[in-house]
Amino acid sequence: LKSTPSDPPFHERRRAVRLLPGTPGNDGILDPRFGKKVFKLLPGDFFVTRRDEILTTVLGSCIAACIRDPEAGVGGMNHFMLPTAMHDSGAWTGNAGNANRYGAFAMESLINAVLKLGARRERLEVKLFGGAAVIPGMSDVGARNIEFVRDYLATEALPVTAESVGDVTPRRVNYLPRTGDVLVRRLRLVTRDSLAQREREYLQTLAREPVSGGVELFGS
């Protein structure tokens, strides 16, 4: 068997451009109001911690799932949206279509990361945020993201204990995994334009990238 070298997945390539939260050089920023370190997440990121820290992100139509195990004291957050085909194609929709596979990947990456830090699946509690209609002319993007993540969590039998989703206003979410507390601030509509632009770019990047992580066959 021939071994085929594979490109690193899209996330790793994109993330290499900036320092990931929690990696050396990005050790968070101390927030004097809370006296805790704050880690900022951008679209496509996820971050998990065992420490008493704050995870923060700004959401338009994207989703942030906040997942923690209260007993293990471990929690994390992701920030993602489903890719959509810029040209309609059967590969994008349906049961194992690109959109579902990418969304499941984003959720599973976060869940695996909290499990690795000692969380137990049966103790996980989930809070959901985002999915607002912020991109002009693409009002269904947020709704689609909400529908996906609810379906996914129902299939995985993971309970949603709190949520703030939908509507038209962007949200700033501050999550404290240690306590499970979430501070959500609805943002003024002026922030919508720049946010919509960022999300449109994120969507375009997702549409260009193949939803595939690569294959390597081991020679014997």
Partner 1 sequence: VPGAGRGTAARVAADRRGPEQYGVWRMASLILAVDDSASMRQMVNFTLKGAGYQVVQATDGVEALEYARGNAVDLVLTDVNMPRMDGITLVRELRALATYRYTPMLVLTTESSQEKKMQGKQAGATGWIVKPFNPDQLLATIARVL
Residues labelled catalytic: 62
Judged by CB under 8 A, the residue of 13, 18, 51, 121 near partner 1 is 121
Q: What are phi and psi of 193, to 5 degrees?
A: -65, -50
Q: Select from 31, 52, 156, 172 the one that contacts partner 1 (CB under 8 A).
A: 156
Is 17 a binding residue for partner 1 by CB under 8 A? The answer is no
- Using CB under 8 A, which residues numbered 81 to 100 contact partner 1? 95-96, 100
CA distance 30 to 75: 19
Residues in contact with partner 1, shown as a per-residue x/- string from 198 to 217 under the rule CB under 8 A: ------------xxxxxxxx
Compute the least distance from the CB of residue 86 to partner 1, in Å: 18
Q: Which helix (H) or strand (E) holds 110?
A: helix 98-116
Buried b (16+ CB within 10 A) or exposed e, 5-32: eeeebbbeebbeeeebbeeeeeebeeee
Q: Which of 115, 117, 160, 184 binds partner 1 (CB under 8 A)?
A: 115
Find how far residue 9's CA is from the centre of its chain.
16
Query: How far, CA to CA in Å, does 120 sit from each of 74, 98, 143?
Result: 10, 29, 30
Q: If binding is defined by CB under 8 A, does position 109 make contact with partner 1?
A: yes
- 79 versus 171: smaller Cβ distance to partner 1: 79
Neighbour count for residue 4 (Cβ, 10 Å): 9
Q: Which residues bind partner 1 (CB under 8 A)?
A: 1, 6, 8-9, 12, 95-96, 100-102, 104-105, 107-109, 111-112, 115-116, 120-121, 152, 155-157, 210-218
